[in-house]
Amino acid sequence: MATNTNKKAAGAINTNGADFPTTAAQGKEFATLGARAALAGITLHSLDNDYEKTVCIASPWAMTRELADIGAIEIWLDRVTGGST
């Protein structure tokens, strides 16, 4: 019996969207931002919005925020966490 070994880790982020990283270096930057967010108690989810565009949804506490690209994620995280780490 074959088992599926391609399972994502809990909290893994899909980075295959057009405005999100596709190269290894960009993927590392996106993963770093995800880790910064996690340290601040924020979850990041990548998904398609109503217009079939991939966006990131940040969920701090009981609120959500749609962010369009890596730059927007970084700027927003700087604002809510008091600067880059």
- Give the model confidence (pLDDT) of 40-83 as tens digits: 999 988 777 788 777 888 888 888 898 888 889 999 999 988 87
Domain count, the chain: 1
Q: What's the mean pLDDT in 20-38? A: 76
Could you tell me the two tokens for 66?
Answer: 């749609």
- Identify whether 71 is part of a domain: yes
- Identify whether 45 is part of a domain: yes
pLDDT at 26: 64
pLDDT at 8: 46
pLDDT at 78: 92
The answer, yes or no, to whether residue 9 has pLDDT greater than 70, is no
- Identify whether 64 is part of a domain: yes
- Identify whether 54 is part of a domain: yes
pLDDT at 38: 92
The residues, any chain, with a CB within 8 Å of residue 18's CB and separated by 6 or more, are 53, 54
Could you tell me the two tokens for 4?
Answer: 């599926």
Range of the structural domain that residue 55 is part of: 24-81
- Identify whether 66 is part of a domain: yes
- Identify whether 57 is part of a domain: yes
* Residue at 82: amino acid letter: G
The answer, yes or no, to whether residue 32 has pLDDT greater than 60, is yes
